[in-house]
Amino acid sequence: MPIERLRLRSLRGALLALGVLLAGAAGAAPPALLVGTAWYPEQWPQSRWPKDLELMQAAHLDVVRVGEFAWSTLEPREGDYDFSWLDRAIAEAARRHIYVVIGTPTAAPPAWLTSKYPDTLRVGEDGQRDEHGNRQQFSFSSPRYRELARRIAARLAERYGHNPDVIGWQIDNEIGPPSFDPETRRQFHAWLQRKYGNIANLNRHWTTAYWSETYDGFDQVPMHSKDENPGLLLDFRRFVSDTWTSYVENQVAAIRAHADPRQFITTNTTHWGDQYDQYVLSRDLDMAAWDEYVPDGHFVWPDQAVQQDLVRGYKNEDFWLMETQPAFVNWWSVNSPLPPHAMRELAWQAVGHGANAVLYWQWRSALNGQEQYHGTLLGPDGTPVPAYGVVREIAAEMARAAPAIAGTSPRSEVAMLQSYDSRWAIDFQRQQADFGVVKELDAFYAPLERYAQSVDVVSPDAPLTGYRLVVAPALNVLTAAEARHLADYVRAGGHLVLGPRSGMKDSYDALWPQRQPGPLARLLGGRVEQYYALDSSVPLAGVLGSGQASIWAEALSTRDPGTQALLRYGRSNGWLDGKPAIISRQVGKGSITYIGAWLDPALMQNVLDDFLRKAHVTPLVPGVSDDVEVCERVGAGKRVWILINHGDAAHTIRLPSPAAPVLSGDPAVRTAAVALAPHSIHVLEAPLP
């Protein structure tokens, strides 16, 4: 993030950081960089626990997450709590200098609860009510379930909220599926009424005169996630986001009422998941956290890097990697393992992009259950599997690097805007089956990351001061307020690049009447005359190079003498021939550009390189190969470079200034050149100039 925001961290965040340094495990302060695992002591005899913890200690693990699936053990009968086993597990971990994060157990309600209170069970969109025997089988809107969840969270916080060995809390686990039960429908109607005030406003914004969809009252509005009026679908997703947010806040409030402020509170999200708005959900959490998996075992570093930056952008702060895979998973079509070097590269990549902890899921194979075949660090016999040795090496390296990492965070001069509203809106109406918004975000991110080597992924309403270049791929839903925000950025000297399908819809998922890019069309001095889904590629050429467009193409026009056409379509389908594909306008010291086509990778790199140079963005470490990832963390008067060679060839990297090695070598001897063997990692520290 820019230096300005590094200096403007919240007071709570500062207190949290200070508090964690004062935490306990046998009186020691935890390191700034932690490695750990998910441990399920309730699944094993207590006589086994010391051996588990000794193996963790031997592997240099600092932290365990416990409890997130243990409701039936913590509360075997309603109101009958048994925390004695958890007391002992935490105490045994502390004796080995291992800290604890407690997960509230609400992802997996016990059988007594679902049997006694069947109204708490989730109902699918097909009307089928879930049964006991899985997880996430509860309704996120159920008042009764929320009360029971609040009660167990409060009891845990009363007991462990001031335990010096407990450093944080995770709310639930990978929340996601909504419910379609009658109570949720009632709450959806109430949500709509609060938003629109009266049914006439809803009818107007949703254009319900179309197909005679006009409603006489809010209780007539159906509740669906697909095949409906786009305005309804978008509002339903927003309602789901608000409902999950209030679900999480219910437990956050219960914990904060009893817990020491030094203990952080978070929840763990998943990949590019879009079942709810992560920015909204993260607002009242102390930090973001996520679970990173590469299910097919093929680690493509830009595809994973963008997700790290996405999670960092939820709060524009460092985060935790709460789960990642030890070699392989059990839920993909072919559960191929990550190679050992990829496990190491993935872990260091996470740290380079802002993770201050890397936890592996899970510690030991469960003897039964749906995830028997998932990768672990120990086998069912309780002895290490090969991944244990790899994690031990990673943890030992991170222990050496922790003092250098302390007090640092990534910073970027480039931002990419990511909007859940836009992702949802395009997914409702793709027009071209291959137009996946995540795929388009990846297509823009990879060349930005290769050139600038640090990119923030933030919401459209995030502060933009300090960014030299802001790129907004597929910003389909553009509110009037967001348009003003982006226009102010450009007029203040910023450089804005919009991607295909941007500025098409307003905040109600209705088409802007002035065509794309909607309220930014006047600033651009041009617009989209028509959009086309492509089933074959079309040629492009101009001052930015030549190449092909596929999937999507928009014919642009210029309406201001200062707006230039930078690329045009060649002969193809007649509709696009000779029309501008990229137009740009200088606005004072800033600029606004519209890219109207899905560009091939080489052309995309050329185009974005040109805009990066014009915005005076410079690489952190110039001249590196495309298979070398450069990460930089800055703070506390120092900069730390993490260099990761993801390729099979060796490279020599020339640093901008001499730096001291952190992982190996003599830290007193600085070097300006680093020899990177294939799939090797170097961490270097240098003072800020």
Whether 12 has a pLDDT exceeding 50, the answer reads no
User: What pLDDT shows up at residue 271?
Assistant: 85
**586: enclosing H helix or E strand:** strand 580-587
Whether 25 has a pLDDT exceeding 80, the answer reads no
Q: Within a 10 A sphere around the Cβ of 14, how many other Cβ atoms?
A: 10
Q: What is the pLDDT of residues 228-244, one digit of tens each?
A: 999 999 999 999 999 99
Whether 247 has a pLDDT exceeding 90, the answer reads yes
Report the alpha-carbon distance of residue 57 to residue 51 in Å, rounded: 10
User: What pLDDT shows up at residue 28?
Assistant: 65
**Neighbouring C-alpha atoms within 13 Å toward the C-beta of 422:** 27
363 three-state secondary structure: coil
Q: What mean pLDDT do residues 9-30 have?
A: 48
- Bridge partners (DSSP) of residue 457 are 416
User: What pLDDT shows up at residue 13?
Assistant: 43
pTM: 0.94
Q: What is the pLDDT of residues 345-377, one digit of tens each?
A: 999 999 999 999 999 999 999 999 999 999 999
- Bridge partners (DSSP) of residue 633 are 410, 640
Whether 446 has a pLDDT exceeding 90, the answer reads yes
Closest CA to 628 of 589, 681, 556, 684: 681
Residue 258 makes CB contacts below 8 A (sequence gap 6+) with 154, 157, 158, 161
Q: Give the pairing type, strands 597-599 and 638-645.
A: unpaired
Structural domains of the chain in order of their starting residue, each with its CATH number: 3-403 (3.20.20.80), 414-614 (3.40.50.880), 628-687 (2.60.40.1180)
Whether 6 has a pLDDT exceeding 50, the answer reads no
Whether 124 has a pLDDT exceeding 70, the answer reads yes
User: What pLDDT shows up at residue 273?
Assistant: 87
Q: What is the pLDDT of residues 166-203, one digit of tens each?
A: 999 999 999 989 999 999 999 999 999 999 999 999 99
Q: What mean pLDDT do residues 262-290 have?
A: 95
Percent of the chain clearing pLDDT 70 (strictly above): 96
Q: What is the pLDDT of residues 608-641, one digit of tens each?
A: 999 999 999 999 999 999 999 999 999 999 999 9
Whether 10 has a pLDDT exceeding 80, the answer reads no
User: What pLDDT shows up at residue 343?
Assistant: 98
What's the chain's average pLDDT?
A: 95
List the catalytic residues. 174, 323
**Band (30; pLDDT cuts 50, 70, 90):** confident
Report the alpha-carbon distance of residue 190 to residue 640 in Å, rounded: 51
Q: What mean pLDDT do residues 52-58 have?
A: 98
Q: Within a 10 A sphere around the Cβ of 295, how many other Cβ atoms?
A: 17
